[in-house]
């Protein structure tokens, strides 16, 4: 198993996020990935390697040029407003909401920020762009390894990606690693690709990116958006549109869902993947389904992640895994390693 890790992930280290009217310490911290790297190395789960660089064209296959330009220049624009901003995180204060124009890019930086984000919980810092771009490199390198014959390759990176859409960020996500891995697989010859998202929170960005396409199946089991972030997408009646009708499956579950119900629902997700008959699989792996996660509400235990890895491996597909959420920091390494260990044991 090839494990591609992000050497620049610590460049994205924010101070605060906005939560219910208060600035609080960020849940998405560098320690998350450090724990994962320590756990997979301790168990010798695969070959740890660095990513290959990616071109602007790779990013532009999923994200719009004006959005990428904004991300690349955001920090310089922020500091240009006031040199004192160099000591602060970037957080939005206005948004392009209902009835407002999104086709015109304002000159004002605060307005630009509100054009491209959907929450106030995803701070940007000086190194966010470099860290996110290196994360994409991990996902693309993993996908190319699978195209070259690897059974499974894993992008061990942060920030996560599945909430990032073609031209928006949020949920700690700036570039969509899972979507870029899927597109790399398509471009490399996989006629059909399935993306299976098992994070507690719905991958609204991934759904938006592929919603009108029939070459990529998106399947997600997640907390019910009637009560759970990101709230405004992820309902069961969202099935795709146009050519993509029938190629999006959402399986929302109520807060408090226990492991047995979650695994029954996973079976439905896996069956949908099997019916699609993809040439390759991308797993958006969030372990914030863990019972001790501070911002989620399912009740999986660490041992359950071994079973998850086994079930994913039984699909028998070339598989790319991208690392998404999981905020019980002390346990995140064990839980991710359990998934990979379960997969490796079954895929032999």
CB 178 within 8 A of CB 206: yes
Phi, psi of 156 (to 5 degrees): -90, 95
Angle at the Cα of 166 (from 165 to 171), degrees rounded to 5?
A: 20
Q: Which helix (H) or strand (E) holds 191?
A: none
Phi, psi of 153 (to 5 degrees): -135, 145
CA–CA separation, 35 and 333 (whole Å) = 5
- Closest by Cα among 269, 273, 146, 164 to 217: 273
**Residue 163 catalytic?**
yes
Residues in the chain, total: 348
Q: Is 299 helix (H, G, I), strand (E, B) or coil?
A: strand
Which candidate in 9, 27, 63, 163 is catalytic? Answer: 163
Instruction: Categorise residue 256: left if φ over 0, alpha if ψ from -120 to 50, beta otherwise.
Output: left
CA–CA separation, 54 and 38 (whole Å) = 26
Give me the active site residues, please: 163
């Amino acid at each position: 198993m090839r494990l591609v890790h992000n050497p620049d992930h610590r460049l994205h280290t924010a101070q605060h996020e906005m939560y219910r009217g208060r600035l609080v310490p960020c849940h998405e911290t560098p320690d998350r990935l450090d724990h994962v790297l320590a756990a997979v190395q301790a168990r010798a789960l695969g070959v740890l390697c660095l990513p290959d660089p990616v071109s602007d064209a790779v990013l532009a296959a999923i994200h719009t040029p004006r959005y990428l330009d904004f991300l690349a220049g955001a920090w310089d624009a922020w500091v240009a407003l006031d040199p004192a901003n160099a000591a602060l995180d970037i957080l939005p204060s206005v948004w392009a909401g209902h009835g407002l124009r999104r086709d015109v890019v304002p000159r004002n930086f605060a307005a630009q920020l509100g054009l491209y984000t959907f929450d106030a919980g995803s701070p940007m810092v000086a190194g966010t762009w470099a860290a996110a771009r290196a994360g994409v490199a991990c996902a693309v390198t993993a996908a190319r390894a699978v195209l070259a014959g690897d059974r499974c390759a894993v992008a061990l990176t942060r920030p996560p990606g599945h909430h990032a859409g073609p031209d928006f960020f949020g949920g700690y996500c700036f570039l969509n690693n899972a979507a870029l891995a899927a597109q790399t697989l398509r471009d490399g010859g996989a006629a059909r690709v399935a993306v299976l998202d098992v994070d507690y929170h719905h991958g609204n960005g991934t759904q938006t990116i592929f919603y009108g396409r029939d070459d990529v199946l998106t399947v997600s089991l997640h907390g019910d958006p009637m009560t759970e972030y990101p709230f405004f997408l992820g309902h069961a009646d969202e099935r795709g549109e146009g050519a993509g009708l029938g190629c999006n499956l959402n399986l929302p579950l109520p807060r408090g869902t226990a492991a047995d119900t979650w695994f029954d629902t996973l079976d439905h997700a896996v069956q949908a993947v099997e019916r699609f008959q993809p040439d390759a699989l991308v797993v958006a792996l969030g372990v914030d389904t863990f019972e001790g996660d501070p911002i989620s509400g399912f009740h999986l235990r660490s041992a359950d992640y071994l079973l998850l890895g086994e079930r994913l491996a039984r699909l028998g597909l070339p598989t790319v895994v991208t690392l998404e959420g999981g905020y019980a920091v002390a346990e995140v390494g064990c839980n991710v390693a359990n998934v990979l260990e379960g997969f490796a044991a079954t895929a032999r």
